[in-house]
A = this chain, B = another copy of it.
Amino acid sequence: MVTVTLVGCGGTQPLPERALSALAVTAGGGSVLIDCGEGTQAACRRHGVNLFRLDAVLLTHYHGDHIFGLPGLWQTMAGMGRTAPLLIAGPPGLDRVLRAFLAVAGPLPFALQPLETARCRGSFAAGAFTVTAFPLKHRVGCCGYALALPRAGKFDPERARAAGVPLALWSRLQNGESVAGYTPDLVLGPPRRGLKIVYAADTRPCTALEQAAQDADLLCMDATYADDADAPKAKLYGHSTCRQAGTLAAAAGVRRLWLTHYSAAVTQTGEDTPGLGAARAAFPAAEGGFDGKRIELFFDPDPE
């Protein structure tokens, strides 16, 4: 199971009643946090995201509304007694950002493990997930992230017997261990569909995103503007309208779409998001993000 929490849904400035856009994706007892603006740590606490159990922070880019919460998060983790290293990934420029924040945060009782993605391309492990970065279209270098929770094939006793695997080893092989020269594939059917969560803010609609979001269980995407008339502004500033998010979600064949990173001019969120109708015209399952929006995603049931 994966729990996804939209920690905040706002763009640019933290508002009294709206935290900056950030997503926490939780599986196997740990979480990956995408972006950390001013107020993200308090919003995580408000919405039940365990800050002590963060495996990684993925930064999309280095505009203030996505990073200014980092040093405070670190100090809170330090206060909680964290000693485990913290993976921090981001596009080129990460080193400069971390150096500046470390200069004001002072020494920490845990190590930061920076991972700079060259041109926002590459895959790496973060907690329970395999993360794939991909380049978005914003005013500055900006990464989207696809978080995949892979799923092994179904246990197949017929196959195990046919391969002559001793019964005593079945359970360990089923759990992914290789034992005594036997490998898990000898007792498992073909890998099954896992879960994929894709986060894409800040961005204009673009091919790399459409490809990365193919068949995703959830796409959480930039929907800065509600009104179609703001499309030129969206293009200029490297953002999307709600309708554009819906159109991209439909083209990518995702299962769910959450709108996020609303401009302050978008005064309502959730079901009342003004652009939700436009998004739904293209993608009927679109949902308006709101602070604390949460879903639990499960693997597909096996066919009978």
- A residues touching B (Cβ–Cβ < 8 Å)? 12-16, 37-39, 41-43, 45-46, 62, 64-65, 67-69, 71-72, 75-76, 79, 96-97, 99-101, 103-105
Query: Closest B-chain residue to A74, C-beta based?
Result: B64
Return A292 CB to nearest CB of chain B, in Å. 11
Chain B residues, CB < 8 A from A103: 96, 99-100
Question: How far, in angstroms, from A108 to B68 measured CA to CA in the complex?
Answer: 16
Return A38 CB to nearest CB of chain B, in Å. 4
Question: How far, in angstroms, from A191 to B67 measured CA to CA in the complex?
Answer: 50
Chain B residues, CB < 8 A from A100: 100-101, 103-104
Chain B residues, CB < 8 A from A79: 12-13
Return A131 CB to nearest CB of chain B, in Å. 23
- Minimum-distance CB pairs A-B, first 5: A16-B46, A100-B103, A38-B72, A14-B42, A100-B100
Question: How far, in angstroms, from A45 to B69 measured CA to CA in the complex?
Answer: 18
Contact A45 B16 (CB under 8 A): yes
Query: Closest B-chain residue to A45, C-beta based?
Result: B16
Contact B68 A71 (CB under 8 A): yes
Give the contacting residue for A39; candidates B12, B42, B71, B104; CB below 8 A: B42
Return A198 CB to nearest CB of chain B, in Å. 27
Query: Closest B-chain residue to A78, C-beta based?
Result: B64
Question: How far, in angstroms, from A69 to B13 measured CA to CA in the complex?
Answer: 12
Contact A72 B68 (CB under 8 A): yes
Chain B residues, CB < 8 A from A67: 104
Question: How far, in angstroms, from A55 to B99 measured CA to CA in the complex?
Answer: 30
Query: Closest B-chain residue to A67, C-beta based?
Result: B104
Contact A75 B64 (CB under 8 A): yes
Query: Closest B-chain residue to A16, C-beta based?
Result: B46
**30 interchain pairs, CB-CB under 8 A:** A13-B72, A13-B75, A13-B76, A13-B79, A14-B39, A14-B41, A14-B42, A15-B42, A15-B45, A16-B43, A16-B45, A16-B46, A37-B72, A38-B38, A38-B39, A38-B68, A38-B69, A39-B39, A62-B104, A64-B71, A64-B75, A64-B104, A64-B105, A67-B104, A68-B104, A97-B104, A99-B103, A100-B100, A100-B104, A101-B104
